[in-house]
Amino acid sequence: MIFSRLFFIYLFLPVCLLTYAAARGIKQKNTVLIIFSLIFYAWGEPVYILLMLLSAFVNYGAGLCIEKFRGQKGDTIATASAVVFDFLMLGVFKYSGFIAENINALFSCSLPVPDIKLPIGISFYTFQTVSYVIDCHWEKVASQKSFPKYLLYLSLFPQLVAGPIVRYSTIEKEIDDRTITVSDVSYGLNRLALGLAKKVIIANQLSLIVDNTLGNIATSTTLGAWYGAAAYGLQIYFDFSGYSDIAIGLGRVFGFHFDENFRHPFICKDITEFWQRWHISLSTFFRDYLLYVPIFGKRRKYGGLFLVWLCTGIWHGASWNFIIWGLYYGLFVFLEMQIGKKRMKKIPVVIRHIYSKIVIIVGFGIFYFEDLSQLGRFFRTIVGVNVPGLIGIQDKISLTNNMYLLILAVICTFPVIDGAKKLAERNFAAKSAISSAAAICSAILLVITSIMLVDATTNPFLYFRF
């Protein structure tokens, strides 16, 4: 099921909210959420719900074993077994075809290439199970004794299929005890409306620009390729951050406080800062669980860094362009580490902004092209090699026709709402006015979004496939 569908907005969600409100006590409310979460997941892939339940059972059992054999060999065995199981499941469903194709190409073999449909959300909930087991092993959290409560953590539908990656420690206490205020519901619904607007009003419209530019890279001009890559970056941002807004908003409506996943990444001044603001739940996962893993018996600063970025690329997809994309960003983070924070700050801010935006735009171009020949064409085009020209008539028409959309998208990358909140905190009268304005704007956005969704044929969130 997809958030940006009228069925979800006007049927599934209202029925869920009414049932949840009617439930008495935390046990009944948790049961309601589990049932609706399983229905939500099974709606598109009823078979793969068994895979998620298996994952939940294995990792729940591992947590109990870790608790029982704390400090003993059984603790380590349970942890290692669960982590191996999790990554093996992810590897089979996500990477087996890619591995077979490359073995065939490298060794001239004829291995059968599996054509396995990727279960929705497996990359996200696998990382949640891994973080839970490791945190149990590190004694950061206590093992959950109740399987239904653990299943609720893993299957909670607001964040189930495309994140953010919610750690057990974040909602551990709220599984057993949570309160919902009018302020929480208001905030959650406003955030839901904002996320839907990001997706439907901005991201879906930007996708048309991307299809007409990067989708026709063979005939693209130099500025057309830059324009398309920049539009794709904005599309990904509004699509994914929109989903995160909806997830965080829905979580708040049900009494859960998920961590932020995006903090206005395009206002960054360097690549290190960009990744402190972009897909925060993923970058912090690799930082906390992989960066300091011993390599050849020792913790190696730079070895760990490139291992993190290699895995970041691999996590996004079974294709060489994602591996290149991950190492590409790892290289720039490495270079910035060599320069040092103090010397980076001495570089004029304008230069730093230009540098970071060029790197980011090229990065999104790498991210887009899974076909390496097309990716090579993109690289040649952005530097002006064998292209029809600097800019074409179609590029000018597209820029003119989409000017207001592009201006809106750029403005919305800035912390405009955060600025309004800070103003409200200083002035009670302003707080009341801003709260009322937020409710009115949310209602308007929901109406506009609903109208636009009436004729929409397909609009899946992009990160579903990662």
193 pLDDT more than 90: yes
Query: Residue 292 has what pLDDT?
Result: 77
d(CA 203, CA 232) in angstroms, rounded, equals 9
Average pLDDT estimate for 322-347: 94
Distance CA 463, CA 15 (A): 26
Residue located via tokens 């996004």: 316
Q: Average the pLDDT over 361-367 and give the result.
A: 97
Q: Is the pLDDT of residue 105 over 90?
A: no
Q: Does the pLDDT value for residue 397 go beyond 80? A: yes
Share of the chain above pLDDT 90, in %: 72
- The percent helix, strand, coil of the chain (3-state, each to 5) is 75, 0, 25
Predicted pLDDT of residue 244: 94
Give the global pTM. Answer: 0.92
Distance CA 384, CA 144 (A): 58
What average pLDDT does the segment 403-417 reach? 93
**Per-position b or e across 221-250, b if 16+ CB within 10 A of its CB:** bbbbbbbbbbbbbbbbbbbbbbbbbbbbbb
Q: Give, in degrees to the nearest 5, the angle at Cα 424 between 423 and 429.
A: 120
Mean pLDDT of the chain: 90
Tell me what pLDDT residue 309 has.
Answer: 94
In this prediction, residue 147 carries a pLDDT of 96
Q: Which residues are catalytic?
A: 316
Q: Using the structure block, give the residue that is written with the tokens 């690289």.
A: 379
| Phi, psi angles (nearest 5°) of residue 295 | -115, 120
366-369, long-range: CB < 8 A, 24+ apart: 366/321, 366/324, 366/325, 366/328, 367/232, 367/236, 367/316, 367/321, 367/322, 367/325, 368/210, 368/214, 368/229, 368/232, 369/214, 369/217, 369/321
In Å, what is the CA distance from 296 to each residue of 77, 299, 306, 307? 21, 8, 14, 13
CA 12 to chain CA centroid, Å, is: 23
Mean pLDDT of 435-453: 89
353 pLDDT more than 80: yes
Q: What is the DSSP annotation of 38-80? A: HHHHHTT-TTTHHHHHHHHHHHHHHHHHHHHTTTSHHHHHHHH
Burial of 11 (0-12, 13-18, 19+ CB in 10 A): exposed
Instruction: Please state, in angstroms and rounded to a whole number, the distance separating the CA atoms of residues 360 and 446.
Output: 31
User: Domain-by-domain residue ranges, the chain?
Assistant: 6-178, 183-465
Between these two residues, 221 and 163, which has the higher pLDDT value? 221
Which residues make beta-bridge pairs with 298? 295
| Bridge partners, 295 (sequence order) | 298
Higher pLDDT, 381 or 439: 381
459 pLDDT tier (thresholds 50, 70, 90): low
The answer to whether the beta carbons of residues 248 and 270 sit under 8 Å apart is: no
Give SS3 for 298. strand
Would you list the DSSP string of 325-390?
Answer: HHHHHHHHHHHHHHH-HHHHHHS-HHHHHHHHHHHHHHHHHHHH--SHHHHHHHHHHHTTSS-S-S
Residue pair 350/181 in contact by the 8 Å Cβ criterion: no
Asked if the model's pLDDT at residue 430 lies above 70, the reply is no
Position 458 pLDDT exceeds 70: no
Per-residue model confidence (pLDDT) at position 296: 60
DSSP-based three-state secondary structure for 199 = helix
Residue 1 predicted with pLDDT over 90:
no
C-alpha 276/C-alpha 299 separation (Å) is: 22
User: What is the per-residue pLDDT for 62?
Assistant: 96
Residue 440 pLDDT exceeds 70: yes
Q: Position 454: which residue type?
A: V
pLDDT at residue 428 greater than cutoff 70: no
